[in-house]
Structure 1
Amino acid sequence: MLTAAVLVIFPLCMAMAATNDFLSMTIPNRLSVILVASFLLIAPFSGLSVVDFGWHLLTGLTVFVAGFALFALRVMGGGDAKILAASAIWYGWTAAAVNYFAYVGLFGGVLSVVVLLLRANSNLIIASGLPVPATMMQANKVPYGIAIGAAAFATFPQSPMFQSIVGIFPG
């Protein structure tokens, strides 16, 4: 049951965040709440030590504070900041988290270029019939949840939670 929870909850929440951001340029708060609550319920049974558990929480708090600052500066959306912080809790203060954030930046950069190209060629996109949501074409922001979700899928197998559940990492 524990293995199923780890292998389903995190990926499902990240996929839903990316999909919602793509379709509506919003990420529901409930996804961040589910990620944090499920981590708090699962982590004590996953083999993480109390110290590691604390580092995971500190990682989430640090990312939340940084995300809040970026939101206040109008650099990042509120949903993006919350889902990034909630997902960071699952990585902890580890090399996997560094990889995760590097992928978020890399995928975010590529996504930004793609969105800018789509907007610059909006008449061609509309004429081609490609299924691009109107919110993406008209908004003045980038659905960064897509990059966050893609980075999560690329790096989740490296995370301590995943590794402890599948028996690769003892705790």
Structure 2
Amino acid sequence: MILNILGGVFLALCVFAAMHDVNRLTIPNWLNLTLAGLFVPAAAISGVPMEIIGGHLMVAALAFMVAFGLFAFNIFGGGDAKMIPAVMLWLGPDAGITFIFVMALAGGAFALLILSVRQLVPAAVLPGFIRAPFEENAGVPYGVAIAAGALVAAPASPFLANLLKQISLFS
């Protein structure tokens, strides 16, 4: 029960991070720390073997190195580079490929959508809560793609699979 609550909070915060990124083009540090921090009690109460938890930690560490390499080359923003390892901590190696694939597809599709809308619609006519990404020279809120990848890959995570089965979205 508590694991499902922690997993539900994790997924809700992923969606919140995506919405915050669209609204402000940032993902706050407190949010990424909370995403990662929720994993500690989840791992402690889950009953998942230490080898599996270790795999999650290793995949998150690898994601951290790759994401910060991309941040160093100005491909990702700092919030995105912190959110990816926090999400990978929850998803682990079994969901990693699905997460990366969906994140890349969603990120590309979202970037094309934003670039198209920028050409067709003046940013001033868009509602204020979604205007930021459509301003000239604004970045792409990649938190949307990260959240999409997390939601699609979640059923493969031992920490999230039971929650998703119980709410009957993926069964």
Verify same fold: TM over 0.5: yes
Root mean square deviation of aligned Cα: 2.0
The answer to whether residue 31 in structure 2 is matched with residue 27 in structure 1 is: no
Identity of aligned residues (%): 31
1:160 is paired with a residue of what secondary structure?
coil
Q: After TM superposition, give the deviation of residue 131 of structure 1 in Å.
A: 2.4
Q: After TM superposition, give the deviation of residue 166 of structure 1 in Å.
A: 7.0
1:71 is paired with a residue of what secondary structure?
helix
The answer to whether residue 127 in structure 2 is matched with residue 131 in structure 1 is: yes
The answer to whether residue 50 in structure 2 is matched with residue 53 in structure 1 is: no
The answer to whether residue 100 in structure 2 is matched with residue 104 in structure 1 is: no
For the 8 Å contact 2:60–2:85, the answer to whether it is kept is: yes
For the 8 Å contact 1:156–1:162, the answer to whether it is kept is: yes
CA distance in 2, matches of 1:67, 1:56: 16
Q: How does 1:67-78 map to 2 (within 5 A)?
A: 67-78=67-78
TM-score scaled by length of structure 1: 0.87
Q: After TM superposition, give the deviation of residue 5 of structure 1 in Å.
A: 2.2
For the 8 Å contact 2:59–2:93, the answer to whether it is kept is: yes
The answer for the alignment partner of 1:118 in structure 2 is 117
Q: After TM superposition, give the deviation of residue 157 of structure 1 in Å.
A: 2.1
For the 8 Å contact 1:67–1:82, the answer to whether it is kept is: yes
- Between the two proteins, the alignment pairs up a number of residues equal to 164
For the 8 Å contact 1:25–1:136, the answer to whether it is kept is: yes
Q: After TM superposition, give the deviation of residue 13 of structure 1 in Å.
A: 1.2
CA distance in 2, matches of 1:143, 1:136: 7
CA distance in 1, matches of 2:121, 2:84: 29
For the 8 Å contact 2:8–2:163, the answer to whether it is kept is: no
Output the amino acid matched with 1:21.
Answer: D
The answer for the alignment partner of 2:85 in structure 1 is 85
Output the amino acid matched with 2:161.
Answer: Q
CA distance in 1, matches of 2:4, 2:53: 20
Please list the CA deviations of residues 135-166 of structure 1 after superposition, one character each: whole Å capped at 9, or x if unmatched: 21224311000111122222212222112567
Q: After TM superposition, give the deviation of residue 167 of structure 1 in Å.
A: 8.2
Please list the CA deviations of residues 11-48 of structure 1 after superposition, one character each: whole Å capped at 9, or x if unmatched: 11101110100000000111111111110111122121
CA distance in 2, matches of 1:158, 1:55: 14
CA distance in 2, matches of 1:150, 1:134: 20
The answer for the alignment partner of 2:169 in structure 1 is none
Q: After TM superposition, give the deviation of residue 7 of structure 1 in Å.
A: 3.4
Listed as ranges, the gaps of 5+ residues in structure 2 are 167-171
Please list the CA deviations of residues 89-148 of structure 1 after superposition, one character each: whole Å capped at 9, or x if unmatched: 011111x2110110000000100100110111233x64xx44263321224311000111
Output the amino acid matched with 1:66.
Answer: V
For the 8 Å contact 1:6–1:165, the answer to whether it is kept is: no
TM-score scaled by length of structure 2: 0.87
